[in-house]
Structures are given as structure tokens and as C-alpha cells.
Structure 1
Amino acid sequence: MGIQTIWNPTSWKELPAQQQPEWPDAAQYDAALKELSTYPPLVYVNEIKSLQSALSLAARGKAFLLQAGDCAESFHDHSAHSIQHKLKVILQMAVVLTYSTGVPVIKIGRIAGQYAKPRSSPTERYGDLELPSFRGHIVNSEEPDLKSRVPDPQRMLKAYHQSASSLNLIRSFTKGGFADLSKVHTWTQEFVASSTEGQRYEAVAFEIERALRFMAACGIDLSKEQVLQQVNFWTSHEALLLGYESALTRQDPGSGKWYDLSAHTLWIGERTRDLNGAHLEYISGISNPVGCKIGPTTTREQILGICEKLNPGRIPGRLTLISRMGADRITDVLPSLVTAVKDEGYPVLWTSDPMHGNTFSSSGSGLKTRRFDVILNELKGFFEVHKGLGTWPGGVHIELTGEDVTECLGGAEEVLEHELDV
């Protein structure tokens, strides 16, 4: 790799950077980044530190991480209704996990910044037309014409403003009464409430309400218990677009440490985790807690290199390794990687992404989809591996929406292939 340079927010530019758009006008790109660098932070250092503290508990087996949200956020779907419903689903999941596991559940959304998409190919076909790939609304538009696919740096500024708007609403919901545990029944989605799974959720909600009534009967004033009325909710996105991330990276005057203030935590994907690449270089220098996706081709040497690069100080909660093996590979591949990390003494938090290793294209429509039972099988495999090794299965990282959609096959609604994207 040559002589190691001292880290700074743009030192990644000295290394190969995968998945970056080909900006047509360098001057416009630089001007957009310069403007972005003058904007206020989206999150605050004290919030990042509180997340780091929570994740350190999960790394020690005393908490569980739920990280969930959109595959990629959209400029077109940005209503209060949409954000509220996503938050509602995450709160539903968290309350069930908390009640069933008996440990605190850390709630992180793939939200307020998840606008970029990694792509397997720089181009894609629409009939006879070959176009630059859609890389997320922070880069270009999904419309199937050449003009719409040209990367536009002004979109980074729009992504910032929409992220700020989302964060403002999230803070209002999570601190303003919407997340009050006594209202657990009001979180129920209508399309779930009529199903068997919805009835199981209602049973849990009833038990929680009964416990709250018992506490009140014992003389505890629930209206004064802030922990029952508010929740801590943090934001995350994939650190894919490195110019955007570095423009929002600021130095904390108190500690001298650098933080990416576009989100509380960021992760690196399977396609960009090259040890000698720009993405790992960038996140190695920020003091946010960070994550890295780990796929089935990962070797012992690679995973230990990632751990050393991203957490040389071996700080619990600093590094989350996100397993995305595929249901048919996880029990074969994951054990040796977990063992290697454990034997070398790296205090990582292991979580499972059961979505991305199980994607395939529908034979009828060609739409990308997953089978719900296969998603569950990967999750089961993840927990079985950790149980067998005596390690902590610390969380799940999943894509979801608060809307009534048909994107996965099977599940509670028993979705069939011809019903996809209905």
C-alpha cells in the first residue's frame, strides 16, 4: 500500500474508491461539496457517544441491536406518514424483542441519509436501451432516460436537507409522546392486526400493559418515568458516497477526534470493504461506531485485517460485523470467522443481515425478491452458530418499510410471484 499517510477526512482519495459516480462536471461537484461542508451537523457528538456506550453493552452480551429501514430512501416518499409508519414498525419489533429477551434493545434506523445504492454493474438495460445505473436519489434519478441518469451533485444538497427534515420529525416522535410504552396498542399496523402474527403481537402488548398497570398499582407514577415515555433512536446509512461523507466530517474541538456528523453510525458494504480501499480508510479515522458487511467469501485474514483496521484499540461497541452469508452458507462459513475474531480478542458486535445474501430475480417479472422462509433460515443459522460457539448473537440488520407492500415471497400474507410489486 506504500507509505501510510496521516488520516484526514480526504485521505481516502489516495486509494482506489469503488462505487463512486462519474460526476460529469468536476467544478460543480467540488462546489457542492464546499457548500455542504458549511452546513450544520445533522447529528451531535454527545448523541454518537451515547450510541457507542449502548453498543458496548451489546458487544458484551448485555443488549441487542435492531437496525432496520429502507433499502434506499427516496426523494419521492418523504411524508410524515411514511416516516411515522417506519418508526412504528421498528418500535413494534423492539418492544417484542425487549419483552422476549429481557435485555435492552438498541434501535437504529436505516433512515435520514440512506440515499445511495451500490450497484453490481455501472450500466443497466431497459429494452434495447443501455443506461448508467440508478445509484440512488443522492446521485441520479431512476427514470429510464439518459438525462435522468447523469449524476447531479446538487442532489447531495437535497439529500442533506431531506435528512435534516427526517431527523427533526424522528426526534419529535421519539421524544414527544408517540413512543410512550403505555400506547403500545396504537402502534399496531392494520394489515398485521388481522393476521395470526398480529394477534401474537397483540398478546404481547396486552402483557406489557398488564405489567404497567401492576407498576402503577404498586405506587409508581408512570407519568414521571421518562424511560417509559421516550426512546433513544439513532440513525445510520451506508458510507458509500465518500465525498458527501467527508464534507460532513468535523473535528470535535474538545477531544480533537473526527466524527462523521451525517449519521450516528455508518457501515461499509460487502462490495467496498477492500482492506486497501478508500472506504475502509475513511471510516477507520472517524470516531463514530462503525459496521462492516461480511459475506461468504470473507477469509480469516480479511476479517482480522478489518478488525485491526477499524478497531485497533479493541474498544467494545466500536465495530459491528454484519453477517450476510446466505441461508445455505451461513452454518458452513460463519463459525470459523467468529472463532478467529474471538481468539484474537477483538470485542466486536455480531449482527445478522438475512436479506442481502438471499436475493434472486423472479422468473416471471424479473423483480428482485427474497423468500421469507429463507430469510428466517439465515436468522436461525446465525443464532445456532453463536449458540454453538458460546458467543453473543448481538442483533439483526434488516430492510423494511411501514407500508403495505409485496416484495418478499411467502410470509404472513403468503405472497406469490405474480403478486410481487402489486
Structure 2
Amino acid sequence: MSFRVVRSSKFRHVYGTGLKRDQCFDNIRVSKSSWDSTFCAVNPKFLAIIVESAGGGAFIVMPLSKVGRINPDHPLVGGHKGPVLDIAWCPHNDNVIASGSEDCVVKVWQIPDSGISRTLTDPIVDLVYHQRRVGLVLWHPSAQNVLLTAGSDNLVLLWNVGIGEVIVKIDCHPDIVYSACWNWDGSSLLTTCKDKKIRIINPRTGDIEEEAISHEGSKATRAIFLRSGLVFTTGFSKMSERQYSLRAPDHLSDPIVMVELDTSNGVMFPLYDPDTNLVYLCGKGDSVIRYFEITAEPPFVHYISTFQTPDPQRGIGMMPKRGCDVNSCEISRFFRLNNSGLCQVITFTVPRKSELFQEDLYPDTPGEEPAITAEEWLGGKDAEPLLISLRDGYAPSHKKELKVIVT
């Protein structure tokens, strides 16, 4: 007599739903760049997408309420002299976004609450140091104004955007850095590199604390820190099969789990929700989003389900939890770009009968207030992100403008 023990998890039934076309964004000229970036960044106020533009690089920013067909002459954020490769919203100010470009410059922009009515070409600050194209921009999770950038010059730089200066230079990678991720309190940095290694780095000194081969394949790997401190990676085997792995710091070279998924050739982006411990795998060129729950018991990475879409994806953005609709038990929302210029909105919900606030689905989540200043962080202080309750929903604050004091 055999029987299967069904694992009890509140996320066993997570349902993805694609919104109707009139609730999505349409007619977007998504960038044709072959760079492995998600091309899309979203927060509770705005959606930003890297687009094709004549004479330089640009991205488009739309208030989330402006769904439907986008005018071909919609104003752009465009001051770069080369294609934009990566964009990232500041976690502590929903009106501030950073962009990295082939022109070697990183720009930080202030977007008005109402969106932009004409093309924006004046950033708040230009961050100039990289000698080659900048393909990665990433904000610190809890320290104000700390921005990480990585370029094809193999450098990882940390900036204090408030003064427009490099505060740490990390020069320990022999090749291009594919991805970077902060741990939960921003005291440690995880990178993947073209030399197939993942590295855990002390971000204040730039010293490597641990390194290991992540995946044998030569295509791009990505790695993220989970809230528990474990490391989740995606990459390729020698036979070009796509894989994911789960590893523990101090034992990076010995994966807890290594699973082969398929033989598709698109780079997989792991998008992570630290509140629920769910990881969503979205591959470039895939027409599916797979999602998994990470737990402390074997097999540790539990496959939940696959959301199927009719067309392949070019890019994807994930909404921070404070932008999700708690009344409909929405636990995540994605903005998915396809080749025909549609940005489809996909919501993932856990069906519940009760109308009440679901405490277990919505633990307190990172809010907009930074926990520490850039100076405190550089001085050695670490702090976890300041959390807020979503019990009464989330109301975006009217943020002060970012002021840059250039010395």
C-alpha cells in the first residue's frame, strides 16, 4: 500500500491570472538589446521599460493608472548617448530611478508624481567612473542613497548618490559581472561572473569571503540571497541544460540542491519574494513562469506550479509587496513584456473565503523609509529594512526630492 504525503503549505494553491488587454500596457517598442537584463522595473507608482529610441538610449515611465495603448510619441527619459542596459527604482523613494548604459554613465532621475509630460533629459546626477558599458544597477535594501553599479570593465562600484561619489571600488572579478544581490540587511554582496564563479564579497572592503563554481555551462548565471541567508542560483550545465541550485554560505561549492529543468537557451531570472519565500523563474524567450517555495525541509525547493502564457517574454518586472492588492489576496504581480509590444500584467493570488486581512499571507514587509544613511552604512553599521504592515493597505507617500550635494 503506497500513499503520498501531501505537503501542507498555504502556497500549494497559488493561481496566476493574466489581466485583459485593456488593463495592460500596449504599443511599447521594447529594447532590442541582447543584454541579459529584465528591461522592466516597477514600483507602486510607476512602470519603467527600456525602449528602442533613435539617437541614444531611453526608457519610458508610465504611472500605473495609465493603462492601455501608449502613444508612439509618448515622452521618454532619454539623456544617454548609448542604449540603456538596466534600470532600477530606488526602494526608498518611488520617484527616483537609476539607469546604466552603453555610454559608460549611470544617471539618476527624479520622476514627478504625475509622470512625465515631455521628454526628460536632465538627470539629478550623472555618476561617471566606469570605463566601459554599465549593465547592472542595484540599490541597497536599507541604506539611503547607496547604489551599486557594475560594468564591462569588470568593476563593481558603490556610490553615495547623495554626494555623487564612489564610496567603494570592488575589483576582484576577472571578467564581466552578470548579476549582483545584497543580502537581507545589506551587509554582504553576492555576485555571478563570466568566469562561472559565484562570490560572496564584503561590500565595504571588496574582499572575497567565499567563491565557488556555480554552473558548468558558459552562458550567464544569476544568483540571489534568500532572506534566510541561503543562496539560490540559475545557470546552465555543460550540456547547455538549464539548472537551478540552492546553496549555503561556507559550503558554496557543495549545492544542497541542483536540479536540471529543460534545454531551453534563455537566461533565467530568479525573482524572489522574501515575505513568502517563493521564487519565480522567468526565462528570456520562455512562455512560462515557474514558481517554487523554499522551505527548511527536504527537498527544500518545492515546485508549486507553472503559469503558461501564449507568447515568449522579452523582459519582466516584479512589483514590491507594498504595491500588491491585499483585499484580493494577491501575493505577487508581474509586468511581462512580449515581442509584440504588450506589457501584460499577471497577478498571483491565494484564494481565501474570508474577506478579512490574511495575516499569514502578509507579514510585515519592507516600507519606503531607509533604515540608515549611506554614511552610517559605510561606517560599519548594518540594519534590516524597516517593515510596515499592509493591514490597512498601502498609501504611497509624497516623497521629498532627492538632493545631490556635489562637493
With a CA cutoff of 8 Å and minimum separation of 6, indicate the structure with the bigger relative contact order. Answer: 1
TM-score, length basis structure 2:
0.25
Structure showing the higher strand proportion among its residues: 2
Structure showing the higher helix proportion among its residues: 1
Larger Rg: 1
TM-score, length basis structure 1:
0.25
